[in-house]
Amino acid sequence: MLEITIIVFGLAKCITGKLKLILIKEGTQFIVIRVPLAGLKLGNITLNIFFIFSCTLSLFYAIPFPVIRHYSIRFIRPQRKDILIILDLNDMAANSTIVGVINFITLLLSIPVIGAGIWLANEPDNACVKILQWPLIILGTSIAVVALLGFVGGCWRITWLLIFYLFAMFILILVFACLVVLIYLITNQGSGHPASGRIYLEHDLDDFSGWLRRKVTNPYKWDRIRSCLNSTDMCSELNQRYRIAQDFFNARLTSIQYGCCMPPAECGYSYINPTYWLTPNNTAASMDCLQWSNDQMQLCFHCDSCKAGLLANLTKEWRSVDIILFITLVVLICVYLIGFCFALRKSKTGDTSPRRHKQNT
């Protein structure tokens, strides 16, 4: 605090030239400065005083901690033309620290939201479908921006910015909560059923919500998704990794690999390698049996099992993301309530009347 006061003194002295500031008392709650104006021409007094307050207040408002909330002016011994300046620092450092910590935590809470969106964007299935990753990235970025605005508004005591922060963060929390609930409702289906003679689960399109099914049953959308999936190496890597049939059948593959890279178990195809199978005599078990092709550019990408496997993969990844989002949401709500209650308490107890501070001094 004393270092800031010395800076104020030096800056005011450079501007006014002849003016001399005397520090009477410097404490944790206030600073008292005496300004002797004896010997100055009367015409310069107003200009000098203007420079004192301009420099002092502008410097303090340019520095986040501490922030001047109240100040009062009092004349003492008018015959000597002395002026007593009181800069009240009551609770400023504590208030600014609390506001800064609250908004810093809020800023940190945007990281898992943005990180979840980036992680989904780097997953091949989500990168092809493009449903959830961008809403998460936009939501997380919005939370970070609003937190920064709240930090600026709290440190510089910009009232309208703090009001905007409280309102905007409330809206973002509502959107966040709706998104978390929506993801839970969407991913609460599609448990799958055991495949005959295999260790993995097979999925049907009917296992999933209608909203998700519409994302893959639309021919135009599925052609785009299929082309994107086909351009990845999720099927070709199986041929490099598994040379023996037993190793392949015991492997823990993803649902999308089971659905798109190999024929359904009910079709009775004979294994040659992970992406090449001998056709059985009877392929009428389901339409997917007829859709299978040993062409490495076709495989089972036209099968309903591929669409179901994609949705199963999506729901599994979204469930993991939803857990992270739920925890982040709970912490964000707690931080917001603490900040809201703090702002409400300060609005009830705060008194910015200079008269009160004059009486106290």
Task: Answer yes or no: do 19 and 136 share one domain.
Answer: no
Question: Which candidate, 74, 326, 53, 290, places its Cα nearest to that of 187?
Answer: 326
139 by Cβ neighbours in 10 Å (0-12 / 13-18 / 19+) ranks as: buried
Domains contained in the chain, number: 2
Task: Answer yes or no: do 63 and 160 share one domain.
Answer: no
Task: Answer yes or no: do 171 and 257 share one domain.
Answer: yes
Task: Answer yes or no: do 63 and 98 share one domain.
Answer: no
Domain boundary among the residues 56, 90, 124 is at 90
Is residue 337 assigned to a domain? yes
Q: Say if residues 74 and 118 touch (Cβ distance below 8 Å).
A: no
For the stretch 91-125, pLDDT in tens is 444 556 677 788 889 999 999 999 999 999 999 88
Task: Answer yes or no: do 193 and 297 share one domain.
Answer: yes
Q: What's the pLDDT band for 277 if we cut at 50, 70, 90?
A: very high
Q: Say if residues 238 and 258 touch (Cβ distance below 8 Å).
A: no
Domain boundary among the residues 90, 121, 146 is at 90
Task: Answer yes or no: do 61 and 101 share one domain.
Answer: no
Task: Answer yes or no: do 59 and 148 share one domain.
Answer: no
Domain boundary among the residues 60, 90, 120 is at 90
Task: Answer yes or no: do 61 and 129 share one domain.
Answer: no
How would you classify residue 59: left for phi > 0, otherwise alpha for psi between -120 and 50, otherwise beta? alpha
Q: Say if residues 125 and 317 touch (Cβ distance below 8 Å).
A: yes
Is residue 359 assigned to a domain? no
For the stretch 292-351, pLDDT in tens is 999 988 999 999 999 999 999 999 999 999 999 999 999 999 999 988 887 777 655 544
Is residue 357 assigned to a domain? no
* Residues of the domain holding 241: 94-351
Task: Answer yes or no: do 44 and 154 share one domain.
Answer: no
Q: In what order do the strands lie in the sheet with 82-88?
A: 22-26, 30-36, 82-88, 70-76
Retrieve residue 356's tokens: 């009160």
Is residue 358 assigned to a domain? no
Please report the DSSP string for 85-111 in residue order.
Answer: EEEE-TTHHHHHHHHHHHHHHHHHHHH
For the stretch 23-51, pLDDT in tens is 444 444 555 555 555 554 444 444 444 44
